[in-house]
Structure 1
Amino acid sequence: MESLFLLAPIFPPQGPSNPPTLPAPGFPTHVLTRTSLDQAWAKELKCTDQREPGMLDVVWSALMDNDPIGRTWGKLLPSGVPSGVSRFRNFVTWGWNKTTAAQGGVLGGSVPVLIVHGEHDQTANTTPPNTANPALDFHVPALYDSITGSHKLLVTVKCAGHSMPWEVQHKNLHNLSKHWLQHTKVDDKTEGRFEMDENGNISPAP
């Protein structure tokens, strides 16, 4: 592996190292309604024009196109067709925490790492913190801190949330990923914390 580009990685720093007894209790699939998508996304919209008008409809339509079964579920609309749900898998978290991220010095060593997240991301950065279950308490900056190698960068994107690929910062995100995959550098830097503004400019994080 030449390098890693991680966008809003789900990282529980205090998560368990040992696998659970499988099958784990619970359910295999979450379901997301259009209303719940709207509500979750709205919580992370902190800047004016963070997303273009009509993007919720565009994203929901794409999700329905991607799930021919899920789009037949849900309450019936006045037109008589189902409102649809977007299904996504449940998961059991283990073996990925501050101890294993540091293991062998691989990350940031033989495998350079760029970590990117939106400043308003409340999904990859659990808000408020989940003190009851460390396996579900996620923190992106903690991953940067856990990596022991020196070739590592953390970029916090201004005016962006967990849905950054669907927001106005998506072009800057694409350019950042292209530059990293070609050069494994950010603004000619190979280590440190940075911010990216709405014009795609990179500056050291305060």
Structure 2
Amino acid sequence: MPAPILKEHNVTLESQIPANFGETVTLPVREYDGTKPNHPHQPVLMLHGRSVPALAGFDLAPVPGGSATRYSWAQELADDGYDVFIMDLQGSGRSPRPRMDDPCNANPAQQRVLVPNPLQQPCPPPPPYASQLGNSESEWAELDAVVRHIRGLPDRNKPIRFIGWSLGAAIMGPYTLQHPELVESLLLLAPVFPPRGRWSGKPDEPFGRPAEAQTLPLSKPALTWGFPMFVGTRTGFGTGLDGNPALREPDIVDYAWEACMDSDPTGSKWGPEVEPGRAEGILRYRNTYWWGWNEQTVPHRDPGGAYILGRRVPVLIIYGELDRAANSPATFPDATRFSVPALYSAVKGPHKLMFCLAGAGHSLVWELTAKTVHHMSKQWFKNGMVEGLTEGSYFRDGDGELTALT
């Protein structure tokens, strides 16, 4: 079979985030078209989470030893005949990062990591742009622009298979609830889900702005409220990975870090100098205000009364046994208390399936479990089932044995 065709797309839209509201921006989208001869296109769209750029998460290749694409979920799917698209929202990866080139706009509590490069000392408060960067409305709009672009390509005017990792679930999930006709199925990897997270509080308008957001700078020049950018170091990146270290190949964290830096020419020049003329780099990522993804909105029904998630749109959830990013302590505040099993429970339609992988953490894309995730996704997209199952929740041990979870 011929190798997938690599293409790079530029998706333009009018920005809806306050930092560059109304400006025409371009979102780079990578495509691996693995469509087999005489077969229809089967589009898949992959969306990153909070901090890791899309290409580092979904297209980490080549990695020396074994199959060079074993950590490229995108290329593995394309090799199986799918037409795979990878996108970054504004504030991540290769997409625009408005207000993020000014280091003084970093989280004030994190600015020490920017001393002495690029800052000589932390900046006095408030940040020059004292607002969060984006919001649910702006990110739904960017996702929608990419969806419409894909559907405008020849032979792609059909529902798309979605893959959302981590906080990508909080963007793709509500978007699917609002546009179920555009989504073939939903695969959520280590999904972030706050059961009592923010929403409008109105059953007839569940995805409208929540009451506390009415005064936030969501559509016009910013008011004083927060900051647009988080920053992190190479050391923090490595120590922050949960899961069993035995499930990670030697040096895989280094490859992942370098891929993050490759997506950010500015951030890669910040941080301590590791050798003359080369900085270690700083991970820069957006600070966004999300809503519309909780136990009140997930059971949303279509006008005909059918549940959207699990009925009109099948849902597959995969997460790691040791994932502490997507499963936080019950003592956390409602907006940041996350639970993957609670998401499974909130999906009321019958076509829902969940797997907990033994020993895995939040970054399954870079663990030895990546092969299992790829295998499950191929089964799901091809047959609407995994290991012959279409519903239920299961624990998968290291030998691949499944045990039903109650």
Shared fold (TM-score greater than 0.5)? yes
Q: Which residue of 2 aligns with 1:52?
A: 249
Report the Cα offset of residue 153 of structure 1.
0.9
Report the Cα offset of residue 91 of structure 1.
1.8
State which of 351, 362, 367 in structure 2 corresponds to 1:167.
367
Report the Cα offset of residue 89 of structure 1.
1.4
Give distance in 1, aligned partners of 2:236 and 2:385.
Answer: 37
Give distance in 1, aligned partners of 2:377 and 2:243.
Answer: 23
Aligned pairs for 1:27-176 within 5 A: 27-41=227-241, 44-46=242-244, 49-104=246-301, 105-126=307-328, 128-131=329-332, 133-176=333-376
Question: Number of aligned pairs?
Answer: 201
1:10 aligned partner, one-letter code: V
Deviates more, 1:87-96 or 1:70-79: 70-79
2:282 aligned partner, one-letter code: V
Deviations 1:34-93 (A, max 9, x none): 01111111xx2336x211111111111111111111101112235342221111212212
What's the Cα RMSD here? 1.7
Residue 28 and residue 200 in structure 1: after superposition, are their counterparts in 2 closer, same or farther (change >3 A)? farther
Deviations 1:171-203 (A, max 9, x none): 111000111011111222211111223344444
Residue 120 and residue 77 in structure 1: after superposition, are their counterparts in 2 closer, same or farther (change >3 A)? same
- Confirm whether residue 7 of structure 1 aligns to residue 210 of structure 2: no
Deviates more, 1:92-101 or 1:68-77: 68-77
TM-score by length of 1: 0.90
Between the aligned residues of both structures, percent identity stands at 42
Deviations 1:150-173 (A, max 9, x none): 110111011110111001110111
Higher RCO (CA-CA < 8 Å; seq separation 6+): 1
**Aligned with 2:290: secondary structure?**
coil
Residue 141 and residue 2 in structure 1: after superposition, are their counterparts in 2 closer, same or farther (change >3 A)? same
Deviates more, 1:85-94 or 1:138-147: 85-94
Q: Any gaps of 5 or more consecutive residues in structure 2? A: 1-182, 201-208, 219-224, 302-306
Q: Any gaps of 5 or more consecutive residues in structure 1? A: none
Give distance in 2, aligned partners of 1:164 and 1:198.
Answer: 14
Instruction: Determine if contact 1:153/1:190 at 8 Å carries over to the other structure.
Output: yes
Residue 152 and residue 198 in structure 1: after superposition, are their counterparts in 2 closer, same or farther (change >3 A)? same
Give distance in 2, aligned partners of 1:124 and 1:45.
Answer: 12
Give distance in 1, aligned partners of 2:263 and 2:337.
Answer: 29
Give distance in 1, aligned partners of 2:380 and 2:395.
Answer: 15
Instruction: Determine if contact 2:243/2:320 at 8 Å carries over to the other structure.
Output: no
Report which of the two structures shows the higher radius of gyration computed on alpha carbons.
2
1:74 aligned partner, one-letter code: G
Instruction: Determine if contact 2:243/2:323 at 8 Å carries over to the other structure.
Output: no
TM-score by length of 2: 0.47
Q: Which residue of 2 aligns with 1:23?
A: 217
Deviates more, 1:18-27 or 1:170-179: 18-27
